[in-house]
Amino acid sequence: MAELDALLLPRAEELLARARGGEITYTRFLTPGEQLRLSRHLAGCAEEWCLWGGYAEAERRRMFFLPGYLTALEEPYRTECLEDTYTDCLMALEVRGSGYRDLTHRDFLGALLHLGVERDCIGDICVMAPDRAVLFCDRVMVNFFVEHLDRVANDAVRLSTVRLPADFDGGRRFAPVSDTVASPRADAVVAALANLPREKAQALFREGKIEIDYEPEERVDRTVGEGAVIVIRGKGKFIVRSLSDKTKKGRYRLCADQYL
């Protein structure tokens, strides 16, 4: 992570400086963890940048750095002025299979990476049906993908640009999880989410199998709050919806969603 930040942070500073000179600039597609670290690093000038990944709930997004004439605008005028920039660097492509087999996110991603492109050239890959996905990429990559991506796994596919509805949600689906925990400590929450004894949950922290808010976490006593995203390797990804109300026995009610 330190090596990545050594490249990411100076690059962001360079893009910010260019924006202050009057040019709209933007990063590659960033992981949620990279977005979090950059947002913290640039918190002092939050009005000079924004994040966008093609739709409201996108996970992989680009950070856009805004010249002064844009930062002076109020919403929705600022977003309207950015629409052409968004269109240039965030195109949606629909990938349709033949229906011969069910295709997973791993299948779509593997086929794209097999073409020799880097992961940060691609935004979210939204699997909308067993034979259909929507992926986000830079406009300059569209023709390349259309010409060269003809198979995913063992299935023939065809690509086309697509205009998404305003309420596009990426096809993301959740399964509700509810339990009670003795405290909002991370080990207690992980134990409940993974349906494990607390001792085994603590072992996952020591083994480096826990991420909280997209960063590795080793502290079992960290307090988990509402909105925390927890990745438990081998068990799944969860978002904590609430963790506040107490039962009559003094235990905390945990409500979460597991990403499907």
Side chain identity at residue 38, one-letter code: L
Residue 20, CA distances (Å) to 26, 52, 64, 72 in order: 13, 19, 12, 12
Query: Quick one: average pLDDT of 64-90?
Result: 90
2 pLDDT higher than 70? no
pLDDT at 4: 55
Confidence band of 7 (pLDDT split at 50, 70, 90): confident
Please give the angle made by the CA atoms of 86, 52 and 24, to the nearest 5 degrees.
Answer: 50
Span 88-102, pLDDT tens digits: 889 999 999 999 899
Write out the H or E segment, with its range, that includes residue 211: strand 210-212
Span 208-232, pLDDT tens digits: 999 999 899 999 999 999 999 999 9
Query: Quick one: average pLDDT of 154-182?
Result: 94
Token reading at 23: 């040019």
| Range scoring the smallest mean pLDDT among 1-5, 39-43, 63-67, 242-246 | 1-5
Confidence band of 74 (pLDDT split at 50, 70, 90): confident
5 pLDDT higher than 80? no
pLDDT at 122: 97
3-class DSSP assignment, residue 132 = strand
pLDDT at 172: 87
61 pLDDT higher than 90? yes
Sheet of 236-246, strands arranged across: 174-181, 252-259, 236-246, 229-232, 210-212, 215-216
Phi, psi for 146 (deg, rounded to 5) = -60, -40
Domains in the chain (CATH in brackets) are 23-88 (3.30.1370), 91-161 (3.30.70.330), 174-259 (3.10.290.10)
Confidence band of 114 (pLDDT split at 50, 70, 90): very high
Span 130-157, pLDDT tens digits: 999 999 999 999 999 999 999 999 999 9
- Top pLDDT among 145 and 5 is at 145
pLDDT at 67: 96
Neighbouring-strand partners of residue 240: 256
